[in-house]
Amino acid sequence: MSTAEPVPAPDVVFAALGDPTRLSLVARLSDGQSRSIAVLSADTELTRQAVTKHLRVMEEAGLVEVARVGRESRYTFRPVALDAARAYLEMVSRQWDDALGRLKSFVEE
Amino acid sequence: MSTAEPVPAPDVVFAALGDPTRLSLVARLSDGQSRSIAVLSADTELTRQAVTKHLRVMEEAGLVEVARVGRESRYTFRPVALDAARAYLEMVSRQWDDALGRLKSFVEE
DNA sequence: GAAATACGCAACCATTTTGTTGCGCATTAC
DNA sequence: GTAATGCGCAACAAAATGGTTGCGTATTTC
């Protein structure tokens, strides 16, 4: 049953990715290293609290996982949600390609 | 030079996908058929104007294209933006996989 | 030409989102 | 033990979002 934690609906994941700040957080965390909020908000224009809020949104979307270690909250990237989003996009793409294929064979006959 | 129309930044595309109504519009339009606003808003709970606004957002994100034909505005799916989004996700995934790979070989040596 | 269809625009409203600041608490460093 | 660090919570403000309604205009249809 892995870690339970169902992957949220695709639109939630996309919404979480649909913000420059959050997208850059994903990009940074996708190297596998977990980072504290302080570190993550260090080279941002934003406040620590603002970054915290963004991280909460990402957590709701299943994109990251948080674990308290000592006095800091370490956030870790979680690939499942992103895989789900990717699968969704591929599904739509496939439908599009199929439609193109049908059109083509219709024209050619 | 194709049709110019540069693909917007990934976060804009993701934001456009990050809404259930818009996501279902994408799903419907990805069959290649262009549809009028009236048709698209027919089996929705929403007003025509609400759907119009969503379609505008999608157009800004490069997900659809609009063309006036007679008295109706036909919206057509446009795969480029979606491909860009997909490419972005794959980039992040690759970075994640690489990180895992490095970790694994480090542990194993 | 009159009625019906399809739409655009603008104003407006409620809610959500994004961000801030202030404060208090736990944990670590010295 | 005192100071510094890292964080959470709550209150607040501003802006963006998602939606509605009313009205005017162009295009078909009959």
What b/e sequence results for B11-37 when a residue is b if at least 16 CB atoms lie within 10 Å of its CB, and e otherwise? bbbbbbbbbebbbebbebbbebebbeb
Chain B residues with at least one Cβ partner in A under 8 Å: 9-20, 23, 26-27, 30-33, 77, 79, 82-83, 85-86, 89-90, 92-93, 95-96, 99-100, 103
CB atoms under 10 Å from CB of B55, counted, come to 23
- Least confident span in A78-82, A99-103, B79-83: A99-103
Mean pLDDT computed over A4-24: 92
- Tell me which chain B residues have a C-beta less than 8 angstroms from the C-beta of A86: 86, 89-90, 93
Bridge partners (DSSP) listed for residue A104: none
Q: Which residue is nearest to nucleotide D8 (CA to C1')?
A: A49
Q: Strand ranges (DSSP E) for chain B?
A: 35-36, 64-69, 72-77
Half-sphere exposure at residue A51, Cβ-oriented, CA atoms within 13 angstroms: 20
Query: Is pLDDT above 70 for A31?
Result: yes
The nucleotide whose C1' lies nearest the CA of A42 is D6
Q: Kindly state whether residue A4 falls inside one of the protein's structural domains.
A: no
Q: Kindly state whether residue A82 falls inside one of the protein's structural domains.
A: yes
Parent domain of A102: 10-108
Q: Kindly state whether residue A77 falls inside one of the protein's structural domains.
A: yes
Mean pLDDT computed over A34-48: 96
Residues 6+ apart with CB under 8 A from A95: B27, B30, B31
Q: Kindly state whether residue B91 falls inside one of the protein's structural domains.
A: yes
Q: Kindly state whether residue A17 falls inside one of the protein's structural domains.
A: yes
Q: Kindly state whether residue B5 falls inside one of the protein's structural domains.
A: no
CATH number, domain with residue B38: 1.10.10.10
Sorting pLDDT into bands at 50, 70 and 90, what band is A109? low
Q: Kindly state whether residue B4 falls inside one of the protein's structural domains.
A: no
Query: B26 near B75, Cβ under 8 Å?
Result: no
Domain count, chain B: 1
Q: How far apart are CA A33 and CA A76, in angstroms?
A: 7
B108 sits within 7 Å of strand C by its CB: no
Q: Kindly state whether residue B2 falls inside one of the protein's structural domains.
A: no
- State whether the Cα torsion B8-B10-B11-B17 is positive or negative: positive
Query: A13 near A85, Cβ under 8 Å?
Result: yes
CA distances from B105 to A44, B98, B100, B102 (A): 33, 11, 9, 5
- Tens digits of residue pLDDT in B35-93: 999 999 998 999 999 999 999 999 999 999 999 999 999 999 999 999 999 999 999 99
Q: How far apart are CA A91 and CA A85, in angstroms?
A: 10
Residues 6+ apart with CB under 8 A from A23: A17, B10, B11, B14
A2 alpha carbon, distance to own chain's centre: 19
- Tell me which chain A residues have a C-beta less than 8 angstroms from the C-beta of B32: 96, 99-100, 103
What integer best gives the mean pLDDT of chain A?
Answer: 92
